[in-house]
Structure formats: C-alpha cells, structure tokens
C-alpha cells in the first residue's frame, strides 16, 4: 500500500478508511500470527503487535481506530509484507 496520507484532507481520510477496510479481521489475525513467528518476532515490536491487535478488534466490530492508528497499522502491514517478500 505504502501511501502517504494527509490527515487534514477529507479525501485522504476516505482513502485511509478504504485501505483499512480492505483488510479483514482474519487477515489482521494472520499478520499478528506472523509477527509472533521466529523470522518476524525481532522485526515487529511489542507496541506494533498491540497496534495490529487494535486494528483486528476494530475490524471485527466494523469500527475505526484513530486516523494515526490506521496509518501506523497499515505501515506495520507493509513492513511485514516486505520481510515476508524477502524471506
């Protein structure tokens, strides 16, 4: 995804929500599980795992975390995908 969002622009906020909604609760869980595996454990911090868990919880209940949390969660997903691609 690797987008840059202007959090003061309503259009960018809609794009952010759309990108966040594109990941299902099951996919968030897969990212959490991956972050706990040996190859990823040292590359994903405890706080980043917590952010992924918040994202999963919000996805389950059709809610949204704050815009900053959504951006952070999507960046963590990009980071995991990058490590996954290099593995």
Angle between helices 67-86 and 46-60 (to 10 degrees): 110
Question: In this structure, is residue 16 part of a structural domain?
Answer: no
The answer on pLDDT for 15 being more than 80 is yes
The answer on pLDDT for 16 being more than 60 is yes
pTM: 0.89
Question: In this structure, is residue 8 part of a structural domain?
Answer: no
Question: In this structure, is residue 62 part of a structural domain?
Answer: yes
Digit-coded pLDDT (tens) for 64-77: 899 999 999 999 99
Determine the structural domain holding residue 79 and report its residue range.
Answer: 23-86
**Sign (positive/negative) of CA torsion 7, 12, 18, 24?**
negative
Q: 56 with 28: CB under 8 angstroms?
A: yes
Question: In this structure, is residue 27 part of a structural domain?
Answer: yes
Question: In this structure, is residue 5 part of a structural domain?
Answer: no
Cα separation of 29 and 7, whole Å?
26
Digit-coded pLDDT (tens) for 23-65: 999 999 999 999 999 888 889 999 999 999 999 999 999 888 9
Question: In this structure, is residue 43 part of a structural domain?
Answer: yes
Task: Tally the domains of the chain.
Answer: 1
Question: In this structure, is residue 32 part of a structural domain?
Answer: yes
């Amino acid at each position: 995804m690797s987008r840059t969002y202007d959090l003061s622009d309503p259009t960018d906020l809609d794009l952010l929500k759309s990108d966040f909604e594109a990941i299902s609760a099951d996919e968030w869980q897969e990212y959490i599980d991956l972050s706990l595996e040996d190859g990823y454990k040292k590359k994903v911090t405890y706080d980043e795992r917590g952010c992924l868990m918040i994202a999963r919880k919000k996805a389950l209940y059709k809610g949204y975390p704050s815009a900053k949390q959504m951006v952070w969660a999507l960046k963590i997903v990009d980071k995991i995908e990058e490590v996954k691609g290099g593995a």
